[in-house]
Structure 1
Amino acid sequence: SQTLSKLEKETSLFIVISKSGGTIETTSIFKTVIDHFKLDLDAKDKERVIVITDAGSSLSQFADSYSIKQFNIPDNVGGRFSVLSAVGIVPLTLAGYDTEALLSGAGAFLDRLFAGEEKHLLEKACYYYENSKKLPINVLFSYANNLENLTKWYVQLWGESIGKIDSTGKSVGMTPIGLIGAVDQHSFLQLVIEGPKDKTVTFINIEDFENDLIIPDISLKHIEKTDFINGKTFNVLINAQCDATRQSLRDNGVPTDGITISKINEENIGTMIIYYELLTSLTGAMMKINTYDQPGVELGKTILYANLNK
């Protein structure tokens, strides 16, 4: 209700996204929007709504019945893999992002992979598979606040795709954890270093934050020990923290690897998205699972529907 109170009907466009067309949270919010703004979908208000869903889904049929503009998701693309489809591209384009660059970054990485120039991705997937029992927890440590949503998406992508029953009937999987540096150094690093050695850690750092903010040359009484950083940029400080954290893990026998992004832009984010989608797919294939379904999630939905229909 707080968000709705900040919106004005005349300047708002509502995008309803559900692959299946029946996602209970999505449809419930849409009903709330219709009620709050008194949308008349039989009249001009239908132009304030866009639908993104599978062709032929219940939501697609709803859109057809009101002549609402819709974009369809390919049948073989699951929700968590759909960010480079209309699910991500339409809202991002409307929000002013360069989605051509986003797709270009993803496409270029895919081309390099099939040209044999990104073999490290295959090696990483193989390492995860071979060590999945010894190292069942995979940590992504992103040293940039702007990568928080990407990190959260990785957790969903990895968890929902890899945690399955394999072709032999065994329960398999690896647990994803998403951290943001340097904040989570103070909440999780202790566990990784001195806790069970059952984790791998991937670091992402940004070469250039495109922010030249410098730490002032100020000496504070009693805390002069921090003066060594005076005159350096926060860019330098954050990357130094990333390097130090990674070294501390290596020194304590924790397997790590690193990804350096030149800067945060659409092209590089597109590369990261396809990187993790491919890594997930490759690892799932080695584990002999269906990486793209989510029967455990569907079971929860079935129980929810049954409980609320009583």
Structure 2
Amino acid sequence: MSSDKVVKLKKHEDSMAYEQNIDNCFEDKIGNNGLSRDEFEKNLVKASDILDKLRREKDEGNSPIFNHIEQADDIENIIRIGSQIRDSFDELVVLGTGGSTLNPQSMVCLAQPHDGIDKRVYFIDSVDPYTIESFIAQLDLEGTAFLVTSKSGSTVETLAQFMCFLDALEKEHLDIGKHIYIISDPVDNPLRDIGKQIGATVIDHEKNIGGRFSTFTNVGLIPAVVAGVDIRKIRKFAKAAVEAFFKSNSIPVQGAALQYSFMQKGTAATVIMPYVDRLSAVATWYRQIWAESLGKQGKGNTPIKAIGALDQHSQLQLYLDGPKDKLFNLITCDTEKKGLKISGNYLNNDTRYLKGKNIGDVNAALQKATAETLARNNCPLRHIKFGNMNEETLSTIMVHFMLETIITAHLLELNPFDQPAVEEGKVFARQILNDSRA
């Protein structure tokens, strides 16, 4: 076993390079804030043994998440449903919370990276009364479809959202059933019951895949089709990533060993900081799978989302000069010579360094400066780099973090697929609402 400082993933001629550099995580580079290479090596062996077990489960057909990625039987039906929505309606609103909205948000980022720019898919993931009411007021309900997702079919927030939008559709005297699509477990539950009553299109949630890991199922992919993402490529590259990552000493194996080693050292937080706006939703999704999969029995650490270059101006001061209790996961894309060119017509001598540069050159300089500054200040830094933001990159990153999270959970001797503490809050919320019935 070898803890190579840089691990690269290259698959075929037209493939992007996907690279992970963990060199600035060791004490011989950053002093006492870093890891002992010997301790990391021991944990790398443990992580590889866990991967061997997970590989056997996958090969035997007992790994629902990764077995699903490897099959393609559902793709044409997902495309059919997504295309039907796209052809029949101007907009799609996804109702839900947690993985039901974070997974599709991560997928549609390839087609609609910015709010308000050529947007076809919207997400309602809260029950803030102002958000719901103001959103309904601006909708063209006749031209809008709704995808309501809840694995259990009994999520309080989702049912409450759904009732508000159903009332709005009824007031417009629209054929409600034609506007509603539902994804839920194929068992009797409140959401499916409502769907049957109104004649909605009801779609089965993958039974053995939890909501936060439903990225490559119909939960993530139907909205992606509506947004215009090529989901055949998404699934193709996800399958390729599974094949590449289920090998000894792969990028997720090293990542899990790294994260676990820092937890043993007492590191309180892991910061994910992409310098790619289109990965903002992925960072939010990562925060969920890391927190819900590992935050149990007094174990785990806190995932923090930061976005470059924005959070250089809000969080970096703390990271550089505050407590040294964090692992930094910087994610960068090659943006040099990309984007609009800066004319420099109104720049003075002090700012002429911008003249003739592309906006991507500025982004590249900032992400490089942040990496170097973190390293110089002896902050543990994992740097993930890739060439282009596309279906391959997105699929690779999400498979990477899924597998890394699952391996880390096993290193901590935890079940990565449950969230027992969250259930208590759900029970209390229902009890409060029930006790306050008129």
TM-score normalized by structure 1?
A: 0.90
Q: How does 1:191-210 map to 2 (within 5 A)?
A: 191-208=318-335
In structure 2, what is the equivalent of residue 242 of structure 1?
Answer: 367
Identity fraction in percent = 31
**AA partner of residue 272 (structure 1):** I
Q: How does 1:169-188 map to 2 (within 5 A)?
A: 171-188=298-315
Aligned alpha-carbon RMSD (Å): 2.1
2:261 counterpart of 1:136: no
Residue 284 and residue 209 in structure 1: after superposition, are their counterparts in 2 closer, same or farther (change >3 A)? farther
In structure 2, what is the equivalent of residue 120 of structure 1?
Answer: 251
Q: CA deviation at 1:57?
A: 4.4
Q: CA deviation at 1:132?
A: 0.4
In structure 1, what is the equivalent of residue 344 of structure 2?
Answer: 217
In structure 1, what is the equivalent of residue 85 of structure 2?
Answer: none
CA deviation vs aligned residue, 1:52-79 (integer Å, no higher than 9, x gap):
1111041234334554322222232111
**AA partner of residue 237 (structure 1):** V
In structure 2, what is the equivalent of residue 279 of structure 1?
Answer: 404
2:279 counterpart of 1:154: no
Q: How does 1:1-310 map to 2 (within 5 A)?
A: 1-38=133-170, 44-58=175-189, 59-116=191-248, 119-133=250-264, 134-165=266-297, 171-208=298-335, 211-218=338-345, 220-221=347-348, 224-310=349-435
CA separation in 2, counterparts of 1:258 and 1:231? 28
CA deviation vs aligned residue, 1:164-184 (integer Å, no higher than 9, x gap):
12xxxxx10110011111110
- Answer yes or no: is the 8 Å Cα contact 1:209–1:264 preserved in 2: no
Residue 209 and residue 161 in structure 1: after superposition, are their counterparts in 2 closer, same or farther (change >3 A)? farther
CA separation in 1, counterparts of 2:299 and 2:141? 48
Q: CA deviation at 1:23?
A: 1.1
3-state secondary structure, aligned to 1:131 = helix
Q: Larger deviation: 6-15 or 235-244?
A: 6-15
Q: CA deviation at 1:305?
A: 1.1
CA separation in 2, counterparts of 1:51 and 1:131? 41
Q: CA deviation at 1:40?
A: 10
Runs (4+) off by over 6 Å? none
In structure 1, what is the equivalent of residue 125 of structure 2?
Answer: none
CA deviation vs aligned residue, 1:16-40 (integer Å, no higher than 9, x gap):
1011111111111111111111079
**AA partner of residue 11 (structure 1):** G
Residue 198 and residue 4 in structure 1: after superposition, are their counterparts in 2 closer, same or farther (change >3 A)? same
Residue 45 and residue 306 in structure 1: after superposition, are their counterparts in 2 closer, same or farther (change >3 A)? closer
CA separation in 1, counterparts of 2:188 and 2:274? 37
CA separation in 1, counterparts of 2:362 and 2:149? 40
Unaligned runs of 5+ in 1: 166-170
Q: CA deviation at 1:5?
A: 2.4
- Answer yes or no: is the 8 Å Cα contact 1:102–1:268 preserved in 2: no
3-state secondary structure, aligned to 1:15 = strand
Number of aligned residue pairs: 301
CA separation in 1, counterparts of 2:177 and 2:328? 47
Residue 245 and residue 208 in structure 1: after superposition, are their counterparts in 2 closer, same or farther (change >3 A)? closer
CA separation in 2, counterparts of 1:220 and 1:130? 48
Q: Larger deviation: 298-307 or 125-134?
A: 125-134
